Chains A and B, each alone.
Chain A
Amino acid sequence: MAEYTEVRWHGRAQQGVVTAAKLLGEAALREGKYVQAFPEFGPERMGAPVRAYDRLSDEPIRLHCQVKNPNIVLIVDPTLIGTLRADDSASGLTDGTSPDAVFIVNTTHSAGAMRRELGLGKEAKVFTVDASKISMETIGRHMPNTPMLGALAKVTSIVKLDSLIDNFKENYSKKFSPRVIEGNVEAMKRGFEGVKGE
């Protein structure tokens, strides 16, 4: 039976959540992994809660169902916490997670505070990074997805920072200006360095 690592991204439309899932998939491919990355589409309007998923494995992936039991949850927009109903399919932040799941939250608050707000037990691994501030300082606008990827590379072994950076430089140089590329690479590095946990 194939072993999977499943990742769930929570954010709001226009924060680069879908792109983040794609970037993670592309970077994991460079490390020889089999990957799936897919968004969950609903009503498409700016600011609406959005989810995206990654499924990573050393074996070919045959599952084509949604990710229900993620090992890793990234909360790109902290305003989602506490404002959403648990049964809202576009939002439930802790749904289906095991007690020892990894949570990475874009926030200025401490990991302890996030553990309390999310109602997580002692086994959960909770990390925080101020991805919004990093993105404002490196990219010049609110695009917290790439600092979150850097943080993910630091606190888990599913992807290396170099793979994320190399993929971004190689595959997006045509699409984005050098300034945007450099800004995002810096954002990934600062997310990697700035993530705190408990």
Chain B
Amino acid sequence: MATPLTDKKKQVVLTGNSAVAYAMKQIDPDVCAAYPITPSTAIMEEFSSYYADGKVSTELVTVESEHSAMSACVGAAAAGARVMTATSSQGLALMWEVLYIASGMRLPVVMAVVNRALSAPINIHCDHSDSMGARDSGWIQIYSETVQEAYDNLFQAVRIAEDHRVLTPAMVCLDGFITSHAIENLTLIEDGDVKDFVGEFEPKQSLLDTGHPITMGAMTLPEYYIDFKYEQSKAIRGAKEVVIEVGREFGERFGREYGLMECYRLDDADVAIVVLSSAAGTTKVAVDRLRDQGKKVGLLRPRLYRPFPHEEIASALMGVKAVCVLDRADSMSGFGGPLFTDVRSALYGRDSAPKVIGRIFGLGGRDYKVEDAEAVFDELYNVLETGEAGKLTGYITI
């Protein structure tokens, strides 16, 4: 429930979940099919209240599992509806096969993913194992640092996913509990301005367009399958430009511009941390502390993770001498986390690229403090002094 706009800065305080539910109310999607799971439960709980109170015209489909939730989303989107849902952790895992069907059928479903660890052991707290597992599912992934960003990202995700150059589903990720259950200041957008920004969904093709009957989700044999995938791959790669366009337009309208990533005091930095979502905020405090001591440290926070803006990220890091990529998920490859391998791969082959190490942190909600970030910067200075990357991958906060 939103707090009225009463204070002088025209701000409200909401939890991440309330802000996402409020954004969904303002977007007023045609169909929402969902099955609640901690820590994203409050999103559907509050959205259901808006539905019950007649505040949205959405068709709310309460299903018996997340597999069914995503299946219903696929059906509705194929029929030409604007579709949204939300989930976390095991819920996202249960949606697994249907995620690929949504992206392969080029259906612009928008889903809030409140990041939570995967079992076993069972744990309800934050890490990125859930959405990182879905990083190759053909969905766009945008990661949010704050409640404000999660709220703003949802509107942009609708525009990006539905763009006819993209037509690809999108996840907006926010950190479980840390962001989903914390109240923070944010500025809300007026309902009418949201409507103007997101506009009406105009499907390129729809099963209900009986004047132009089509088949969707048909079987394709070797004659066609790879060509579908080629087109899909081209579309998600092209989504990067649309993310930039939409972020710029959002900034012009509402004063908060978003790009592919955020670079914080990175320009003249010798060493840098790369990290997603809320941990970036804590890292910024460490950066400021060390800058006050005259140390040239910086931060790069990717906002768009899929498609991976490899050129932009690599270029932004080229002036840096040593980088640590912090992953809140372990890919269990024996070679660090997914963000580490992506960033390192993006830099490979460039002359005088920085040394890159990777550290897993914060799994299952383990706290990541300013001191943890400072210790990482210390380690990076050690890499600089010795000229050796030393231990390439490992864990911190244990």
Contact = CB atoms under 8 A, between A and B. Distances in A.
B368 A37 contact: no
A64 interface: yes
17 contacts: A26-B3, A35-B184, A36-B184, A37-B183, A38-B181, A41-B177, A61-B281, A62-B284, A64-B175, A64-B281, A64-B282, A65-B369, A66-B367, A68-B369, A170-B4, A171-B3, A174-B1
Nearest to A64: B278
Would you list the 9 A-B pairs with minimal beta carbon distance, nearest first?
A38-B182, A62-B281, A64-B278, A37-B183, A65-B369, A64-B281, A29-B13, A66-B367, A62-B284
B279 A64 contact: yes
A62 B265 CA distance: 15
A63 B367 contact: no
Contacts of B4: 170-171
A32 B184 contact: no
Nearest to A1: B288
B13 A35 contact: yes
Given A1-B289, A41-B124, A26 B183 contact: yes
A64 B285 CA distance: 10
In which size bucket is the chain A interface? 20 to 34
Interface of B: 1, 3-4, 6-9, 11-13, 124-125, 145, 175, 177-179, 181-185, 278-279, 281-282, 284-285, 288-289, 292, 367-370
Interface string A1-20: 11000000000000000000
Interface of A: 1-2, 22, 25-26, 29-32, 34-39, 41, 60-66, 68, 167, 170-171, 174-175
Contacts of B7: 29-32
Contacts of A174: 1
Contacts of A25: 13, 183
B328 to A, nearest CB: 12
A63 B178 contact: no
Nearest to A39: B181
Contacts of B368: 65
A35 B185 CA distance: 6
B182 A37 contact: yes
Given A65-B367, A66-B367, A29 B12 contact: yes
Given A1-B288, A1-B292, A36-B184, A64 B8 contact: no
